[in-house]
Amino acid sequence: MAEDKQTRRYPPNLQGVLRLAVDAGSAAEGHEPVEPMSEERKLWLKNALAEVSKGQMDEVEKIKQCLAVLSQVGTSETAGEGEDEKDGDDRETAFEILSELCENLDNARDLMTLGGLQLCTSQYLCHAQSGLRWRAAQLIASSAQNMPEVQVHLFTIGALPKLLQLTDSDPDPTVRVKALYAVSCLIREQEAVLQAFLSHDGVSVLMRAMQSDIEKLRTKSAFLLVNLLTSHPEQKDPAVSMGMVQQLVSILRTPHSPLHEHVLGALCCLVEDCPQGLKDCRNPALGLKELLRQRSGELQGKEESQEELDFCERMRLLCFHGQQLDDNGMDR
Task: Write out pLDDT tens, residues 112-140.
Answer: 999 999 999 999 999 999 999 999 999 99
263-283, pLDDT tens digit by residue?
999 999 999 999 999 999 999
Confidence check: pLDDT of 25 > 80: no
pLDDT higher than 60, residue 331: no
So what's the pLDDT on residue 119? 95
Question: Which overall architecture, per CATH, does domain 97-200 show?
Answer: Alpha Horseshoe (1.25)
Please say if the pLDDT value at position 79 is more than 60: no
Least confident piece of the model among 68-72, 137-141, 319-323: 319-323
Please report the pLDDT score of residue 83 as a whole number.
52
d(CA 64, CA 261): 44
Instruction: Please give the DSSP secondary-structure letter assigned to residue 124.
Output: I
Of 324 and 135, which is predicted with more confidence? 135
Tell me the domain boundaries of the chain: 97-200, 236-332
Mean pLDDT of the chain: 83
CATH of 236-332 given 3.30.450.40, 3.90.1570.30, 1.25.10.10, 1.10.3720.10? 1.25.10.10
CA atoms within 13 A on the CB side of 134: 12
Of residues 242, 304, 292, the one with CA closest to residue 268: 292
Q: How confident is the model at residue 58 (pLDDT cuts 50, 70, 90)?
A: confident
Q: Is the four-CA dihedral 4, 6, 9, 11 of positive or negative sign?
A: negative
Q: What is the mean pLDDT of residues 87-92?
A: 80
Confidence at 81, pLDDT banded by 50, 70, 90: very low
* Position with higher pLDDT, 44 vs 275: 275
User: What digits encode the pLDDT tens for the residues 1-14?
Assistant: 444 445 555 555 55
Entry pTM = 0.76
- Assess contact for 207 and 168: CB atoms under 8 A: no
Is 236-332 the same fold as 97-200? yes
pLDDT digits (tens, 9 = 90+) for 166-211: 999 999 999 999 999 999 999 988 899 999 999 999 999 999 999 9
* Percent of the chain surpassing pLDDT 70: 76
